[in-house]
């Protein structure tokens, strides 16, 4: 008889993500039930939302977007989910509240902000904040401005269009390029892509201007920051790519593919992508985010 304890093993490929998704679904259902009276149904029919991907030019050294501006058609949305509180380590509740308030004030100017990610890198401090209808890529404690935010409208936070959705993207040239103000000297250039992911996503990469970085993934969101030299300028040719992978390293999707698709909720209504002429039966199913 071989009485050696069998080795420790991973779950079969994909099973951990499946079980986690099932657990999160059950957990979310219970949360929704508990707070059901507080849920507000939000319906928007036929609204066309122009997405402004970047903040005003005067707010940045040279604020130019690495990606094309997007236009998103929202035909209809369903009930908003009950938001769960993101986990932010290392910041006091007071500091989190300051960031949420500061980023929203400089960004859309209205709405209740919720901080989903916060970090620091060579280009400075950054935060990802969501309101009920917008995603904000915010820089903090920059020269001359305590907060600065580029933001994009998000059709419906309930749904993610596929394995991930890029909700906001933008960039800043380096502080040493010709014509920049003195206060920006020595600042690194940066390009940021941020958005939401489904639980099966284990890795997100962001490629821009020939440089690829891994995103940080937390609280159901991702933030990828490509940092460039201080004399880096926004390239003439625009375009970027974000890719998502599962734990086994399999590609789940890329912006190149997802950008061509439309997505529907379980009722068959288009919640993202496509245009008025899109046939919902040709769309993919959106994934519940929260």
Distance CA 227, CA 54 (A): 17
Q: Of 16 and 233, which CB lies nearer to another protein in the complex structure?
A: 16
Task: Tell me which DSSP letter residue 75 carries.
Answer: -
| Minimum CB–partner distance for residue 105 and another protein (Å) | 22
Residues that bind another protein (CB under 8 A): 1-12, 15-16, 19-20, 22-24, 26-28, 30-31, 34-35, 84-91, 117-120, 199, 216, 218-220, 290
Task: Look at strands 263-264 and 284-285 and give their pairing.
Answer: parallel
| Cβ-based neighbour number of residue 266 at 10 Å | 10
Distance CA 96, CA 116 (A): 10
Q: Of 136 and 234, which CB lies nearer to another protein in the complex structure?
A: 136
| Minimum CB–partner distance for residue 87 and another protein (Å) | 5
Sign of CA dihedral 31, 34, 35, 36: positive
Q: Using the structure block, give the residue that is written with the tokens 């935060």.
A: 127
| Minimum CB–partner distance for residue 42 and another protein (Å) | 20
Q: Of 72 and 205, which CB lies nearer to another protein in the complex structure?
A: 205
Q: Of 2 and 277, which CB lies nearer to another protein in the complex structure?
A: 2
CB 52 within 8 A of CB 67: no
| Minimum CB–partner distance for residue 50 and another protein (Å) | 30
Q: Of 30 and 185, which CB lies nearer to another protein in the complex structure?
A: 30
Q: Which helix (H) or strand (E) holds 212?
A: strand 211-214
Q: Of 15 and 181, which CB lies nearer to another protein in the complex structure?
A: 15
| Minimum CB–partner distance for residue 211 and another protein (Å) | 20
Distance CA 166, CA 213 (A): 15
| Minimum CB–partner distance for residue 214 and another protein (Å) | 12
Distance CA 165, CA 162 (A): 7
């Amino acid at each position: 008889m071989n009485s050696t304890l069998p080795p420790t093993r991973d779950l079969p490929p994909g099973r951990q993500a499946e079980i986690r998704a099932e657990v999160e679904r059950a957990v979310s259902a219970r949360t929704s039930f508990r707070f059901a009276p507080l849920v507000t149904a939000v319906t928007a029919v036929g609204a066309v939302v122009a997405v402004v991907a970047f903040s005003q030019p005067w707010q940045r050294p040279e604020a130019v977007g690495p990606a094309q501006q997007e236009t998103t058609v929202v035909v209809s949305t369903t009930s908003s989910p009950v938001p769960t509180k993101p986990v932010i380590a290392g910041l006091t509740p007071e500091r989190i509240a300051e960031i949420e308030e500061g980023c929203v004030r400089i960004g859309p100017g209205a709405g209740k902000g919720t901080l989903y990610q916060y970090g620091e890198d060579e280009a400075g401090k950054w935060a990802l904040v969501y309101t009920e209808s917008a995603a904000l890529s915010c820089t903090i404690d920059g020269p001359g401005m305590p907060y600065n935010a580029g933001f994009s409208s998000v059709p419906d936070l309930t749904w993610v269009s596929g394995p991930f959705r890029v909700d906001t993207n933008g960039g800043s040239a380096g502080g040493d390029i010709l014509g920049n103000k003195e206060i920006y000297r020595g600042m690194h250039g940066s390009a940021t892509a941020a958005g939401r992911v489904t639980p099966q996503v284990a890795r997100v990469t962001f490629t821009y201007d020939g440089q690829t970085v891994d995103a940080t993934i937390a609280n159901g969101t991702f933030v990828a920051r490509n940092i460039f030299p201080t004399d880096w300028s926004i390239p003439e040719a625009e375009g970027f790519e974000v890719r998502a992978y599962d734990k086994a390293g399999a590609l789940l999707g890329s912006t190149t593919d997802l950008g061509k698709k439309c997505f529907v909720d379980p009722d068959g209504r288009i919640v993202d992508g496509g245009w008025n002429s899109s046939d919902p039966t040709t769309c993919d199913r959106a994934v519940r985010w929260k």
